[in-house]
């Protein structure tokens, strides 16, 4: 067996794209389904990474805008979605219009926030881009189950490091494995109450919460606990469709 290649995501953004093709696939499928069911057309993929979710949304016919603070990843996302005229890139947050999108997705983005202030500011920026009544979709690794091994990822808490659920903003290491590659990154823990309260403070109301099963076919599949939590909310204002 070959040696495992370890890629440190925090210092090598491009590694993210090469290693995790399979991870998040199931939860992305759920997100696309929810967005289509709600009749959203214009979608901002806020923290798009290397553009996998955007590619699915583009294929599904949505008009997708991509944004990420990591320029290297934006380039990868642009390349990936080049075949879709309905996917465009917004390099600068200030150039993205406010009150504009039917839907804004934050897929595993808030967990990257190194402080609660950044967490809240990122959420507020995302909500500001939504039309009144627009749909906010947030995917997070499930804060309650950081000590579990999942098919997509595991945190160092799964190797015995004590996990204090109440230690808000605590940095922790996560690893994703794909074949002979391992991607390691630092994430930050925020409890479910912090997440929900921040959504409410951003001027949105929670409309639906899902805790999808770990459905990925892998020897690490966890049949007992959900790897992710998916929260849907509506920005305050008039809503065209019902939830």
Task: Name the site residues for ligand SAM (rule: CB under 6 A).
Answer: 24, 47-49, 52-53, 68-70, 73, 107-109, 112, 122
Least Cβ distance, residue 200 to ligand SAM (angstroms): 20
Considering the complex, state which of residue 105 and residue 158 has its C-beta at the smaller distance from ligand SAM. Answer: 105
Least Cβ distance, residue 149 to ligand SAM (angstroms): 18
Considering the complex, state which of residue 30 and residue 239 has its C-beta at the smaller distance from ligand SAM. Answer: 30
Strands (E), the chain: 5-8, 42-46, 63-67, 87-89, 101-107, 130-141, 154-155, 171-178, 181-188, 204-210, 228-235
Least Cβ distance, residue 52 to ligand SAM (angstroms): 5
Euclidean distance between CA atoms 173 and 38, whole angstroms: 35
Euclidean distance between CA atoms 89 and 70, whole angstroms: 13
Considering the complex, state which of residue 112 and residue 195 has its C-beta at the smaller distance from ligand SAM. Answer: 112
- Strands 130-141, 228-235: pairing is antiparallel
Q: How many CB atoms lie within 10 A of CB 232?
A: 21
Considering the complex, state which of residue 11 and residue 242 has its C-beta at the smaller distance from ligand SAM. Answer: 11
Least Cβ distance, residue 182 to ligand SAM (angstroms): 15
Considering the complex, state which of residue 107 and residue 222 has its C-beta at the smaller distance from ligand SAM. Answer: 107
Q: Which residue is nearest to ligand SAM (CB)?
A: 49
- Strands 5-8, 42-46: pairing is unpaired
Least Cβ distance, residue 109 to ligand SAM (angstroms): 4
The two tokens of residue 55 are 């590619």
Q: Which of 58, 66, 104 is nearest to 85 (CA)?
A: 58
Euclidean distance between CA atoms 94 and 114, whole angstroms: 22
Considering the complex, state which of residue 48 and residue 155 has its C-beta at the smaller distance from ligand SAM. Answer: 48
Q: How many CB atoms lie within 10 A of CB 240?
A: 11
Least Cβ distance, residue 48 to ligand SAM (angstroms): 6
């Amino acid at each position: 067996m070959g040696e495992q290649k370890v890629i440190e995501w925090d210092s090598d953004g491009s590694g993210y794209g090469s290693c995790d093709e399979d991870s998040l696939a199931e939860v992305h499928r759920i997100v696309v389904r929810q967005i289509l069911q709600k009749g959203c057309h214009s979608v901002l993929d806020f923290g798009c990474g290397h553009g996998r979710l955007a590619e699915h949304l583009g294929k599904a016919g949505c008009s997708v805008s991509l944004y990420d603070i990591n320029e290297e990843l934006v380039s990868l996302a642009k390349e990936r979605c080049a075949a879709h005229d309905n996917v465009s890139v917004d390099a600068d947050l200030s150039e993205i219009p406010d009150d504009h999108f039917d839907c804004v997705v934050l897929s595993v983005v808030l967990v990257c926030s190194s402080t609660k202030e950044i967490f809240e500011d990122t959420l507020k920026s995302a909500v500001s881009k939504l039309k009144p009544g627009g749909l906010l979709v947030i995917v997070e690794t499930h804060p309650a189950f950081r000590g579990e091994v999942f098919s997509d990822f595991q945190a160092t808490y799964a190797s015995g490091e004590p996990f204090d659920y109440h230690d808000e903003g605590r940095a922790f290491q996560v690893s994703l494995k794909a074949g002979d590659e391992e991607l390691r990154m630092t994430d930050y823990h925020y409890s479910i109450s912090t997440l929900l309260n921040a959504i409410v403070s951003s001027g949105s109301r929670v409309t639906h919460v899902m805790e999808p099963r770990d459905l990925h076919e892998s020897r690490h599949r966890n049949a007992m606990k959900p790897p992710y939590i998916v929260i849907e909310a509506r920005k305050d204002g008039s809503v065209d469709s019902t939830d």
